[in-house]
Amino acid sequence: MFENLKEQPADKILQLMQMYKEDPRDTKIDLGVGVYKDASGNTPVMRAIKAAEKQLWEAETTKAYTGLAGDPAYGDAMIKLVLGDAVARANVAAAATPGGTGAVRQGFDLIRMANPDAKVWVSDPTWPNHLSILKHMGMTKVDYRYFDSETRGVDFEGMMADLAGVAAGDVVLVHGCCHNPTGANLNMAQWGELVELLNAKGAIPMVDIAYQGFGDGLEEDAQAVRLIASKCPEVLIAASCSKNFGIYRERTGLLMTVCNDPSRQKLNQGTLNYLNRQNYSFPPDHGARLVTMVLTDDALRADWMAELEEVRLSMLGLREQLASELQRLSGSDRFGFIAQHRGMFSRLGTTPEMVEKLRADHGIYMVGDSRLNIAGLNKTTVPILAEAIIKVGI
Ligand code: PLP
Ligand code: TYF
């Protein structure tokens, strides 16, 4: 049997991580994988998470199974965090998943169950795992234009023109905020237009939100998903706690369905439970429990929000520093987009050859599509990167 297995394509982002590790240069700079790093290059455990872990260690009396959808308190807390008051709780079904990736995977599984013919429309480009999971599941994906390689903003006209081709029942996958890999995002007026188009066509939005709090703020970053949830009859939402709670390896995510007909909630919830059972039975609990504790305790929540805001502002500061450094060195505004982008990433919009040159000549590691992780920089390395960008001729 095993002889039938074939070599599968590697994850390019994880491959890059390995290359970086093996590079002996002590001047190397890692702008690859999407993990937050502070000024000294550490990915800290957030203060509130550490405090919650201590409390949990003292108070936890059992590690018996939770439920198929995870602890209901986690679902409630996360629904509130992501959706606020945009929809009634009775219209939402939710299940904890192993990370946001698990939520994406379970969401696709639900789509396939409900409508095996559904096409899933994805932004070009999107997070590579969206594509590989869809392919693995044998689902049909269609690209829609997203990135304007001239302005490095959203090609909104192209996007709407492509999405005019969606059929009723198709699913349109969008990034709720902080688009990965480009950093370019729709404004609220554009989200409004998109919602109208999807509703007119009878297409179903699926929102992947993995960076709430990394863009314009915790509430601001949820505006699009809340608009979609309040205006569209059926919505899927895959949320991740990996970044905004800094609990990457705990594997903490949530898949939600929102339906404007509350009589469907029970069936949706049952389906989410069923899908968890088929894939892994009970979802991981530790990270979810920490998130619940942080979100439901006033002091922990306030401290978490303060630290998340520090993280967000540090990335914004680095964006501004890099954009102005590049403006100074290039004598032009052509890198202004870096300060406009939001979240961890910006796509420079240069060639793989230039990206390779940055790596080979300067020890600067970014993903081949010219995505850089802003959080991999600090005040000292920003000028080094800016000089290298100009030197290689980007
Ligand atoms: N979706 C997007 C767009 C992401 O960038 C990520 C990665 O951080 C995820 C989902 C899910 O991440 P995780 O499975 O680590 O929660
Ligand atoms: O895009 C990123 O870098 C993050 C982290 O298979 C990540 O989303 C990278 C690769 C992967 C899972 C997560």
The answer to whether the CB of 244 is under 6 A from ligand 1 is: no
Q: Are 215 and 159 in contact (CB under 8 A)?
A: no
Mean pLDDT (whole number) for 289-318: 98
Q: Using the Cα atoms of residue 289, residue 257, residue 69 and residue 241 in order, give the sign of their dihedral.
A: negative
The answer to whether the CB of 11 is under 6 A from ligand 2 is: yes
The answer to whether the CB of 13 is under 6 A from ligand 2 is: yes
Mean pLDDT (whole number) for 254-270: 97
The answer to whether the CB of 127 is under 6 A from ligand 2 is: yes
Q: Which atom of ligand 1 is nearest to the CA of 179?
A: 3
Give 33 Cα–ligand 2 centroid separation in angstroms.
Answer: 6
CA separation (Å) from 162 to 181, 296, 371, 394?
20, 42, 24, 30
pLDDT for the residue 148: 97
Tokens representing residue 170 in the block: 């198709």
Mean pLDDT (whole number) for 162-174: 98
Q: Atom 1 of ligand 1 has which residue's CA nearest to it? A: 210
pLDDT band at residue 82 using 50, 70 and 90 as cut-offs: very high
Q: What is the pLDDT of residues 11-39, one digit of tens each?
A: 999 999 999 999 999 999 999 999 999 99
Give 346 Cα–ligand 2 centroid separation in angstroms.
Answer: 15
pLDDT for the residue 307: 98
Give 180 Cα–ligand 2 centroid separation in angstroms.
Answer: 9
pLDDT for the residue 55: 98
Which stretches of 2-98 are DSSP H helices?
12-22, 47-59, 72-83
d(CA 210, CA 23): 30
The answer to whether the CB of 99 is under 6 A from ligand 1 is: yes
pLDDT for the residue 347: 97
The answer to whether the CB of 183 is under 6 A from ligand 1 is: no
- Could you tell me the maximum CA-CA distance found in the chain, to the nearest angstrom? 63
Q: In sequence order, what E strands does 158-221 have?
A: 171-175, 204-209
Mean pLDDT (whole number) for 224-249: 98
Q: Which atom of ligand 2 is nearest to the CA of 33?
A: 3
d(CA 259, CA 240): 21
pLDDT for the residue 203: 98
pLDDT for the residue 73: 98
Count Cβ atoms within 10 A of the Cβ of residue 196 and give its class: 0-12 exposed, 13-18 middle, 19 or more buried.
exposed
d(CA 18, CA 286): 28
Give 241 Cα–ligand 1 centroid separation in angstroms.
Answer: 9
Q: Which ligand places an atom closest to the C-alpha of 30?
A: 2
Angle between helices 223-231 and 188-201 (to 10 degrees): 30
pLDDT band at residue 258 using 50, 70 and 90 as cut-offs: very high
Mean pLDDT (whole number) for 125-133: 97
Residues catalogued as catalytic: 127, 208, 210, 243
Helix (H, G, I), strand (E, B) or coil at 378: coil
Ligand 2, from 36, 127, 180: best to mutate by most atoms within 8 Å of Cβ?
Answer: 127
Helix (H, G, I), strand (E, B) or coil at 393: coil
Mean pLDDT (whole number) for 319-324: 98
From 112, 60, 93, 123, select the one nearest 289 (Cα to Cα).
60
Q: Are 202 and 233 in contact (CB under 8 A)?
A: no
pLDDT for the residue 144: 98
Q: Atom 12 of ligand 1 has which residue's CA nearest to it? A: 100
pLDDT band at residue 68 using 50, 70 and 90 as cut-offs: very high
Mean pLDDT (whole number) for 320-345: 97
pLDDT band at residue 183 using 50, 70 and 90 as cut-offs: very high
Tokens representing residue 99 in the block: 């990370």
pLDDT for the residue 44: 96
Q: Atom 9 of ligand 1 has which residue's CA nearest to it? A: 100
The answer to whether the CB of 367 is under 6 A from ligand 2 is: no
pLDDT for the residue 199: 98
Q: Which atom of ligand 1 is nearest to the CA of 103?
A: 14
The answer to whether the CB of 34 is under 6 A from ligand 2 is: yes
Tokens representing residue 149 in the block: 């390689």
Phi-psi region of 84 (alpha: psi -120 to 50; beta: other; left: phi over 0): left
Identify the structural domains of the chain with CATH numbers, from first to last.
11-46+300-388 (3.90.1150.10), 49-299 (3.40.640.10)
pLDDT for the residue 208: 99
Residues of the chain with pLDDT > 70, as a percent, come to: 100
pLDDT band at residue 158 using 50, 70 and 90 as cut-offs: very high
Give 141 Cα–ligand 1 centroid separation in angstroms.
Answer: 19
d(CA 171, CA 256): 15
Q: What is the DSSP annotation of 74-102?
A: HHHHHHHHHHTTSS-GGGEEEEEESHHHH
The DSSP secondary-structure symbol of 116 reads: T
CA separation (Å) from 178 to 208, 217, 326, 342?
10, 11, 22, 5
Q: Which ligand places an atom closest to the C-alpha of 367?
A: 2
Q: Which ligand places an atom closest to the C-alpha of 246?
A: 1
pLDDT for the residue 57: 98
- Other CB atoms within 10 A of residue 334 CB: 12
Tokens representing residue 323 in the block: 């954009």
Count Cβ atoms within 10 A of the Cβ of residue 359 and give its class: 0-12 exposed, 13-18 middle, 19 or more buried.
buried
